[in-house]
């Protein structure tokens, strides 16, 4: 029996529980691998550590490239560490794999933070597609929680589908916005604004300070037109400067207020339960597609029907039924 009263943990799990950084880093590398034997070990490890997760506040930091996410995380991170928090930062940036540049940029931008004892920073792995990234991030988050981190920040680019996937694994979605271009809301899709619990106008300093106030007002009125997703929380809009370390405590207090507001009525637990269910469904979906692709004949049929559907010669539902029929036939 270990201290938590559960079954005895494996040495790896025990090391992670004790906060051993190298064990944590190795475990995250393991979950990033798609080799079947690695997957099997990763699943076992996650399962073992699951009872030791769930005690962190999970926050997504999203926004367009260049808005200031990494700089914000550095400044905000230093602030919360000063408040006694243990912080893990996970980067999900599908574009960084392609450009190859932003990981290096992020490392320098989080230079001070990276030196802190209470901080663990994990850049996003190169390659892989979105589904894989979402799974790896969720699993990495659980490992970090088991290692004792009580605040997890997930940096994600506010374009494409990645933020919806990330919104599905965090408690709070923080959308960063740069001053200016309030009219078109900077091309930020309405869908992203709808999942935002906190909108933070960053770079509210120097020449941009006045513009930042206008942008803040614009977003406040845009948000007032949306129905809040939660009965216990109305999304907030605030401004800060990561460069001058101003307004960061207000953001932190809002994160804590959101956490309290959702915890007391049981909404946080319900939200996480719902996320766990959705995770299961997506794992089953991914697993089924992998099974289909494993069979050469079905994979060929899949590819053939894909182009049929692409060219508009057949609708997706009929094509999907054909593929599934071939699969169930095979399973018989």
Ligand X SMILES: Nc1nc2c(ncn2[C@@H]2O[C@H](COP(=O)(O)OP(=O)(O)O)[C@@H](O)[C@H]2O)c(=O)[nH]1
Q: Which of 17, 52, 69, 203 binds Mg ion (CB under 5 A)?
A: 69
Min dist. Cβ of residue 272 to ligand X (A): 27
In the complex, least distance from residue 255 CB atom to ligand X, rounded to whole angstroms: 18
Number of residues in the chain: 332
Least separation, in Å, of the C-beta of 202 and ligand X? 5
* Residues 142 and 50 sit within 8 Å (Cβ to Cβ): yes
Taking CB atoms, the residue at the shortest distance from Mg ion is 70
State which residue, 189 or 274, has the beta carbon closest to ligand X. Answer: 189
Which of 62, 70, 86, 96 contacts Mg ion by CB under 5 A? Answer: 70
Would you state the structure tokens that stand for residue 142, as one six-digit string? 């659980």
Question: How open is the CA angle 241-243-245, to the nearest 5 degrees?
Answer: 60
Restricting to residues 88-127, name those near Mg ion by CB under 5 A. Answer: 106
Q: 169, 146, 129, 144: which is closest to 17 by C-alpha?
A: 146
Q: Which is nearer to Mg ion, 166 or 301 (CB)?
A: 166
CA angle 205, 206, 211 (to 5 degrees): 70
Phi-psi region of 63 (alpha: psi -120 to 50; beta: other; left: phi over 0): left
Give the span between the Cα atoms of 11 and 8, in whole angstroms: 9
Q: Which does 138 bind (CB under 5 to 8 A by kind): ligand X, Mg ion, none?
A: none
Are 157 and 93 a contacting pair, CB within 8 Å? yes
Q: For residues 188 and 298, which CB has a smaller minimum distance to ligand X in the complex?
A: 188
Residues that bind ligand X (CB under 6 A): 63, 65-71, 105, 109, 202-203, 205-206, 241-243
Closest distance to ligand X from the beta carbon of 206 (Å): 6
DSSP string for residues in 98-151: HH--HHHHHHHHTHHHHT-TTEEEEPPPSS--HHHHHHHHHHHHHHHHHTT-SE
Q: Does 241 interact with Mg ion (rule: CB under 5 A)?
A: no
* Nearest Cα residue to 100 out of 126, 123, 121, 122: 126
Nearer to ligand X, 104 or 289 (CB): 104
- Nearest distance, CB of residue 102 and Mg ion, angstroms: 6
Least Cβ distance, residue 154 to Mg ion (angstroms): 12
Residues binding Mg ion (CB under 5 A): 69-70, 106
């Amino acid at each position: 029996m270990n201290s938590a009263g559960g079954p005895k943990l494996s040495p790896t799990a025990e090391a992670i529980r004790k906060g051993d950084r190298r064990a944590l880093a190795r475990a995250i590398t393991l979950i990033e691998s798609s080799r079947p034997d690695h997957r099997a070990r990763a699943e076992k490890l996650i399962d073992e550590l699951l009872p030791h997760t769930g005690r962190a506040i999970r926050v997504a930091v999203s926004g367009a490239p260049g808005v200031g996410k990494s700089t914000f995380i550095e400044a905000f991170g230093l602030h919360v560490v000063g408040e006694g928090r243990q912080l893990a930062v996970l980067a999900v940036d599908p574009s960084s794999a392609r450009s190859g540049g932003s990981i290096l940029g992020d490392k320098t931008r989080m230079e001070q933070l990276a030196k802190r004892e209470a901080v663990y920073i994990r850049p996003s792995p190169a390659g892989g597609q979105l589904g894989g990234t979402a799974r790896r991030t969720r699993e990495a988050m659980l490992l970090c929680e088991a290692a004792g981190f009580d605040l997890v920040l997930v940096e994600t680019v506010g374009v494409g589908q990645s933020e919806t996937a990330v919104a599905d694994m965090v408690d709070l979605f923080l959308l960063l916005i740069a001053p200016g271009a309030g009219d078109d809301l900077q091309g930020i899709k309405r869908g992203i604004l709808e999942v935002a619990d906190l909108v933070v106008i960053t770079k509210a300093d120097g020449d941009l300070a006045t513009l930042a106030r206008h942008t803040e007002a614009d977003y406040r009125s845009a948000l007032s037109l949306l129905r809040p997703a939660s009965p216990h929380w109305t999304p907030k809009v605030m401004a800060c400067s990561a460069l001058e370390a101003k307004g960061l405590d207000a953001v932190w207090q809002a994160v804590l207020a959101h956490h309290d507001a959702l915890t007391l009525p049981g909404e946080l637990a319900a939200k996480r339960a719902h996320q766990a269910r959705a995770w299961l469904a997506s794992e089953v979906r991914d697993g089924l597609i992998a099974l289909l692709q494993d069979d050469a004949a079905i994979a060929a049929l899949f590819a053939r029907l894909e182009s049929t559907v692409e060219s508009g010669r057949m609708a997706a539902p009929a094509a999907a039924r054909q593929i599934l029929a071939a699969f169930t036939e095979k399973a018989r």
